Amino acid sequence: MSLIAAGGVFIAGVFTYNKWQEYKARKSMERVFGVEHDDVLMRQGDVPAERAEPSFHLGDVPMPDAGSGAYAAPDHPAGAVPGPSVTPDDDTPPVPVRSADASVPPAELATCLVDPLIDCLLPLELEAPIRGDKLLPVLQKLRFVGSKPVHFIGLAVSGDWEPIRHGTVYTKLQGGVQLASRTTALNELEYSELITRLRAVADEIAAEPQIPDMIEVMQEAKNLHRFVANHDAQLGVNLASNGAPWAISTLLGALEKLGFDVRPDGRYAMPDGEGGYLFTLSTNVTLAEETTSRLTLLLDVPCVSPARDGFGSMIGCAKSLMGRLDATIVDDYNQPLSDEALASIADQVKDFYADMEASDIPAGSTRALRLFS
């Protein structure tokens, strides 16, 4: 009887211990996935519970104040009020990030590659100075985790931080993984993979990595992705033929005269003169079609600097095509867009740009191009 009683007590103890471990594990996961912290990118304001594309509308929908830090979209879908569509179609080509200018100082270029505002910083302490020639082949093994790019910069013996290059000796390294992109935030699986691979890289170059706390990194990634989702605006206007459909061969000449670059996928892009694009144009038909009766011009708002007036350039181009092709500028419901309506949208775009500027991610900047590419 004593042995039976002792066995019962032991079993009860094991059961209680397991329940306690489950409770602690559950609380730990709640801290990882459920805790919300204030962030410079997410100031006070309404934030949608799930991703929703921002919309520019012509109705009485109020625009958020510049500097609010959270550019919340209305609850109704894009295009519910007559006006240009801002919801991208599936095959919309991204505006490419401009290549680094050779005249950019190394220190400034280093900041572009590893940016404390949009990257998770990964310091590595080297046991001894090491040449870039030995570092580059090893660091090339860790360029992405999932879809998130990973970059490294080094502290040269000259005392400047710069991108790793041949012929230079470095005393410290700083890595950075981008916390969010247009599609997703850095997640737990990607972060775990990153740390595993980072340790392997560090072992090869005799370095000691400083690993950031996963809970904090995940929260920063979620906040940054909310910002990206709330500012992921693509603004389009349409040209509808007033008569017969246009022959694609005829369009080619008109578009090339206006300065469009022809893309392999059948789209056209207006270059900005510095390796990027102001806006794109789609014929809305497959490459096999010979005619079209509708053109769509699309501005990737956060990827074009306000100084370039992408919206004004796009509307100017649309009006030029309207005269050449006998067309009308319309919204997604084929309702004509008046000059007053277009001016109202232009004012809203200015507010949108002011909000991005207040969040230290100006439209068209290197930060914005990295996040929205």
Domain that holds residue 352: 233-372
Q: What is the mean pLDDT of the chain?
A: 81
Whether residue 43 is contained in a domain is answered as no
CA–CA separation, 273 and 173 (whole Å):
35
CA–CA separation, 162 and 105 (whole Å):
9
- Using pLDDT thresholds of 50, 70 and 90, give the confidence band for residue 41: very low
Residues 85-96: what's their mean pLDDT?
36
Q: Which residue has the higher pLDDT, 52 or 307?
A: 307
Q: Give me the pLDDT at residue 235, please.
A: 95
Whether residue 178 is contained in a domain is answered as yes
- Taking a C-beta distance cutoff of 8 angstroms, is the pair 154, 135 a contact? yes
Query: In one letter, which amino acid is 218?
Result: M
CA–CA separation, 173 and 163 (whole Å):
10
- Using pLDDT thresholds of 50, 70 and 90, give the confidence band for residue 281: very high
How buried is residue 237: exposed, middle or buried, by Cβ count under 10 Å (0-12/13-18/19+)? buried
Q: Give me the pLDDT at residue 28, please.
A: 44
Q: Which residue has the higher pLDDT, 274 or 99?
A: 274
Digit-coded pLDDT (tens) for 190-242: 999 999 999 999 999 999 999 999 999 999 999 999 999 999 999 999 999 99
CA 291 from centroid of its chain's CA atoms: 35
- Taking a C-beta distance cutoff of 8 angstroms, is the pair 32, 215 a contact? yes
User: Is pLDDT of 36 > 60?
Assistant: no
357 and 316 in a common domain: yes
Q: Give me the pLDDT at residue 20, please.
A: 60
Beta strands at 119-131 and 148-156: parallel, antiparallel or unpaired:
unpaired
User: Is pLDDT of 14 > 50?
Assistant: yes
Using the 8-state DSSP alphabet, how is residue 158 labeled?
T
User: Is pLDDT of 66 > 50?
Assistant: no
279 and 199 in a common domain: no
Give the CA distances from residue 213 to residues 38, 115, 145, 210, in Å, rounded to whole numbers and listed in that order.
17, 18, 17, 10
> In the listed set 166, 195, 229, which residue is the last one of a domain according to the structure?
229
CA–CA separation, 366 and 74 (whole Å):
28
Whether residue 14 is contained in a domain is answered as no
User: Is pLDDT of 173 > 60?
Assistant: yes
- Of the listed ranges 224-228, 258-262, 295-299, 342-346, the least confidently predicted one is 258-262
356 and 252 in a common domain: yes
Report the chain's terminal Cα–Cα distance, integer Å: 73
- Using pLDDT thresholds of 50, 70 and 90, give the confidence band for residue 37: very low
Percent helix, strand and coil across the chain, each to the nearest 5? 40, 20, 40
- Using pLDDT thresholds of 50, 70 and 90, give the confidence band for residue 321: very high
> Total structural domains in the chain?
2
> In the listed set 170, 205, 229, which residue is the last one of a domain according to the structure?
229
Whether residue 139 is contained in a domain is answered as yes
Residues 327-335: what's their mean pLDDT?
94
User: Is pLDDT of 184 > 60?
Assistant: yes
241 and 209 in a common domain: no
User: Is pLDDT of 121 > 50?
Assistant: yes
245 and 356 in a common domain: yes
CA–CA separation, 76 and 55 (whole Å):
9
> In the listed set 229, 250, 270, which residue is the last one of a domain according to the structure?
229
Please give the structure tokens belonging to residue 49: 């519970």
179 and 243 in a common domain: no
Residues 36-54: what's their mean pLDDT?
38
262 and 221 in a common domain: no
Whether residue 336 is contained in a domain is answered as yes
CA–CA separation, 215 and 188 (whole Å):
9
154 and 275 in a common domain: no
Q: Which residue has the higher pLDDT, 265 or 250?
A: 250
367 and 246 in a common domain: yes
- Using pLDDT thresholds of 50, 70 and 90, give the confidence band for residue 124: very high
Q: Which residue has the higher pLDDT, 371 or 12?
A: 371
Report the CATH number at residue 351. Answer: 3.30.1400.10
DSSP tally for the chain: helices H, then strands E: 9, 14
Whether residue 8 is contained in a domain is answered as no
Give the CA distances from residue 63 to residues 42, 66, 250, 303, in Å, rounded to whole numbers and listed in that order.
17, 9, 41, 20
CA–CA separation, 337 and 339 (whole Å):
7
The DSSP string of 177-245 is EE-B-SS-B--HHHHHHHHHHHHHHHHHTTEEE-PPPHHHHHHHHHHHHHHHHHT--EEEEEEEESSSP
Report the CATH number at residue 187. Answer: 3.30.1400
Q: What is the pTM (predicted TM-score) of this model?
A: 0.71
For the chain, give the percent of residues with pLDDT over 90: 64
User: Is pLDDT of 71 > 60?
Assistant: no
242 and 342 in a common domain: yes
196 and 245 in a common domain: no
Q: Give me the pLDDT at residue 326, please.
A: 94
Q: Give me the pLDDT at residue 49, please.
A: 39
User: Is pLDDT of 25 > 60?
Assistant: no
Q: Give me the pLDDT at residue 91, please.
A: 40
